Structure 1
Amino acid sequence: MFVSFARLQIYFIVALLLVAVVYPIYLFGSVMGLDGFDLRRVGGDFYQFLLASRMAVSGQAAQLYDFGWFYGEVQRNVVAGSGFYAWVHPPSLLVFLVPLSGLTYLQAYGLWMGSAAALSIFVSFSRKAPIRAFTFFIFAPATLVNLFYGQSGMLAGGLLYGGLRLMDRHPAWAGVLLGFVSIKPELFMLIPIILIAYRSIIALCACVVTVAFLVDASAVFFGSGLWWIYLETVPSLLTTVMDQGEGNFLYLIPSAFGAARALGFSATAGYMVQLPFTILAFVVTFWLFMREREPVARNLAVTLCVLLATPFLFLWDYAVLSPALYLYATRTGLFDEDVDSPYMESILLFAVYLLPIINIALAAHGFPVGPVFTALALIVVIARMAGAGGLQTSVDEKTEQGDKSVSDERESDEGLGTT
């Protein structure tokens, strides 16, 4: 069957309507009533980051890990009873948040989300179809969910994919960017495996030095005991939250653990369900970097593994997939009307693209599909890599037709921003 990614782009608009119009109406109408609508809910999670930046600058960073105080403070400034709030981020994240401390809410929100979006678009720049990046990223459900909640998924996505894309040509800078991903430990799990399997001493050392710098800088500027407070309070708090969370909270967790919990299973059962997905992600990641492979497909596959590996995954974290998916779709021809793309590949990749909204709706009705769609997407990407010619076939065909830019881009995957 003739199916291309381009033919499915009508869902850009569908995704926008679902996230920006239908979902808020459903949420406010069915959960809290339309009379409870408050614009402060939009980007409400971001107030945590702004509050953290101000507390860090004022020398009170340790108070962030006082759950009772932090919860009450956010509730007073966002919307009373608007949800669960706790500061569970490592002190190293405060290094990135300091520039926000002197800004108003709207200024800080605009800078935070705008710079994260710009980074994600920049690291996935492609000369073949650079204009498509705007619509792909702006209408991506993961982008809209990040904007709605004011979360950090796009920043993590830019750092992660930037590091992966630079590994072949600039291992030192790759190590630095991958080291920055440690500000989200749940997405950092596979990076040591990547660097060990890749056997690049430069990248590994750069990553270790970057992580050490973030730890030292946060300890020096925000308090030498801050990391001990973090290690004493956050693991137990996260365990409690994941064990006792229920209702709408679970629909935001598209991991295998979240799927099991959404179906009514206990936390212990959830971790048992999560375990094979985590093992699969570790094994596939090691396999991907043990030998030289086509970088675009490899980077998409390892990004999917990052999402599969952790139980502590939220819908906004799927923004880390956007740069990898965009470049993969551009290089393989999934964006082209005249390319006969594999039916299942297009459907599954677009299902993962739409996952931040379809998982909420389906999980609420007993069908948490997040880990299933993500695993199937990983399978089709690996199948293309292992197939006869794989991604190379697509590139060779375009080169024979005179599209030298594609060949040039593949050979230089990737100096970011190359023109």
Structure 2
Amino acid sequence: MNRAPDKKIELPPQLNLVVKRRPQLRLILIGVIILYVVFYIQWIAGTEHHSPFKDFVAFYAAAEMVQQGRAEMAYDRPAIHEAEKRLAGFDCGIFPWYYPPTTLLLIAPLAWLPPLLAFAIWLLLPLSCLIIIIRRILPDSLTVLLVLATPVVFTNFVYGQNGYLSAALFAGGLLMLPRNSAIAGLLLVTLAYKPQLAFLVPLALLAGQNFKALAWWLAGLAGWILLSLMILGWASWQGFFEGIYYATNAIEAGAAKLPQMSTVSSAVLLAGGEPWLARVAQSVMMLLGAAVVVGVWRRREIPDDLKNAVLMVASILIAPHAFRYDLVLLIPALAWLCLAGLHTGWLPGEKIIYLIAISLSFFTTAVNELIHFTLDPIVIAIVLGYALYRCRLWAGGQEAQYSSARNIVR
């Protein structure tokens, strides 16, 4: 007996991302993407000291060190600098390795591939997964073009960074949470390759009584750590802890590129605040973020979409170490919030704030340098405020139509 073909998922008219002038918008988005490509090619070809790999040299160099059986050398600044220079073909500056040894296990297969192929897979595979996830959240024909035209997506590509991977793991794990606790837990624990983005995940799982997913998360974390100790040894962990101490001191001393960071502590430091004040401000933000996430995730009447958005936005806001490319995490969060807005109506100023949020990576560095302050946490906090307000409306029964939207889309 033949199985009936699946019906193509289409948003009802009231949920279309754009109702009018869709062809014109499609052409505009394609034009933006073409401009990105042209700019990138000209940037690479414009000078002999522009490597297409950019920050990726650190990931490939660290993967090579794992392959060579000297993983602990990834935390040796002179050693990894030499490897990066060899890969780039010139002195591209040092990109220190501050990731935990578990990340070395994750990226080790890259060293088995030629650098250019590894670079392409590093960017395109997680980007493709992220696009599929966003298309699942907002199944509109313009979704793919909107994602590719988002400024922060281009920023991450130019940097050769891991924003796509972080967003895909985070959003993918949250999407799988109601469907498969094991896969969800393992995806979310893999996000801990970047620990600063994963702080709130176990709290959310515990508050939401997702005990099976939490058990898989804890088992996966233990597994990653034990495996790294068995394969890479304790020396790698020792190098990691020493590197964290060095990185913290470097940031507080102003050695890091503070205008390119998106944290509360960077805003305080850029404004001339003392390191202790930056630490206090960041700690307060982390406590507030944890309280917000626990408060939202423990409410059963709030839909998963809004919970997911709150968790992802709060995770960016409380991160003690985050750069512009990490703002890719806003894309799935904003997709969930846009789903609510498209069905129940937009709140005042909501669309403008979301547009500014996804464009932060383009203009805030110059603005931050000019005003000696970081705007990113303010914009991200406003986005979180909109998400929390929607949670409040839902808890008060004022968004009763939202559940029907979720059923239609899913």
1:307-322 matched pairs, under 5 angstroms: 307-322=316-331
Using the TM superposition, give the Cα deviation of residue 260 of structure 1 relative to its aligned residue in structure 2, in angstroms: 1.8
Partners of 1:21 and 1:370 in 2: how far apart? 27
The C-alpha deviation readout for 1:191-238, integer Å capped at 9, x for no partner, is 12112212222111100111112112222222344223322x122112
Partner of 1:262: 270
Using the TM superposition, give the Cα deviation of residue 85 of structure 1 relative to its aligned residue in structure 2, in angstroms: 1.4
- My pick for the range that moved more, 319-328 or 175-184, is 319-328
The C-alpha deviation readout for 1:30-49, integer Å capped at 9, x for no partner, is xxxx9866331x33110111
Partner of 1:39: 50
Structure having greater relative contact order (Cα 8 Å, sep ≥ 6): 1
Q: Which amino acid aligns with 1:49?
A: F
Tell me if the contact between 2:139 and 2:409 (Cα under 8 Å) persists in the aligned partners.
Answer: no
Q: Mind listing any 5+ residue stretches in structure 1 that lack a counterpart?
A: 29-33, 399-405, 411-419
Partner of 1:285: 293
After superposition, the Cα gap between the structure-2 partners of 1:304 and 1:250, relative to the gap in structure 1 and judged at 3 Å, is same
The C-alpha deviation readout for 1:106-130, integer Å capped at 9, x for no partner, is 1001111111102212233338634
Partner of 1:54: 64
Partner of 2:11: none
Asked if residue 298 in structure 1 is aligned to residue 307 in structure 2, the reply is yes
After superposition, the Cα gap between the structure-2 partners of 1:104 and 1:24, relative to the gap in structure 1 and judged at 3 Å, is closer
Q: Which one of the candidate residues 139, 151, 169 is aligned to 2:179?
A: 169
Tell me if the contact between 2:63 and 2:110 (Cα under 8 Å) persists in the aligned partners.
Answer: yes
After superposition, the Cα gap between the structure-2 partners of 1:19 and 1:280, relative to the gap in structure 1 and judged at 3 Å, is farther
Q: Mind listing any 5+ residue stretches in structure 2 that lack a counterpart?
A: 1-15
Q: Secondary structure at the match of 2:349?
A: helix
After superposition, the Cα gap between the structure-2 partners of 1:390 and 1:95, relative to the gap in structure 1 and judged at 3 Å, is farther
Q: Which amino acid aligns with 1:250?
A: L
Q: Which amino acid aligns with 1:378?
A: L
After superposition, the Cα gap between the structure-2 partners of 1:74 and 1:110, relative to the gap in structure 1 and judged at 3 Å, is same
Tell me if the contact between 1:5 and 1:346 (Cα under 8 Å) persists in the aligned partners.
Answer: no
Partners of 1:83 and 1:270 in 2: how far apart? 27
Partner of 1:414: none
Question: Normalising to structure 2: TM-score of the pair?
Answer: 0.84
Partner of 1:371: 377
Tell me if the contact between 1:331 and 1:395 (Cα under 8 Å) persists in the aligned partners.
Answer: no
Asked if residue 351 in structure 1 is aligned to residue 356 in structure 2, the reply is yes
Partner of 1:78: 88
- My pick for the range that moved more, 9-18 or 168-177, is 9-18
Partner of 1:131: 141
Q: Which one of the candidate residues 148, 153, 163 is aligned to 1:153?
A: 163
Q: Which one of the candidate residues 104, 108, 114 is aligned to 1:104?
A: 114
After superposition, the Cα gap between the structure-2 partners of 1:127 and 1:193, relative to the gap in structure 1 and judged at 3 Å, is closer
Q: Secondary structure at the match of 2:218?
A: helix
Q: Which one of the candidate residues 234, 237, 247 is aligned to 1:238?
A: 247
Question: Normalising to structure 1: TM-score of the pair?
Answer: 0.82
Tell me if the contact between 1:281 and 1:305 (Cα under 8 Å) persists in the aligned partners.
Answer: yes
Q: Which amino acid aligns with 2:61?
A: L
Partner of 2:104: 94
Tell me if the contact between 1:261 and 1:267 (Cα under 8 Å) persists in the aligned partners.
Answer: yes
After superposition, the Cα gap between the structure-2 partners of 1:22 and 1:298, relative to the gap in structure 1 and judged at 3 Å, is same
Tell me if the contact between 2:62 and 2:71 (Cα under 8 Å) persists in the aligned partners.
Answer: yes
Q: Which amino acid aligns with 2:66?
A: A
Q: Secondary structure at the match of 2:112?
A: coil
Tell me if the contact between 2:138 and 2:335 (Cα under 8 Å) persists in the aligned partners.
Answer: no
Identity rate of aligned residues, in percent? 22
Partner of 2:389: 383
Give the superposed CA RMSD: 3.0
Partners of 2:29 and 2:156 in 1: how far apart? 16
Q: Which amino acid aligns with 2:392?
A: A
After superposition, the Cα gap between the structure-2 partners of 1:166 and 1:58, relative to the gap in structure 1 and judged at 3 Å, is same
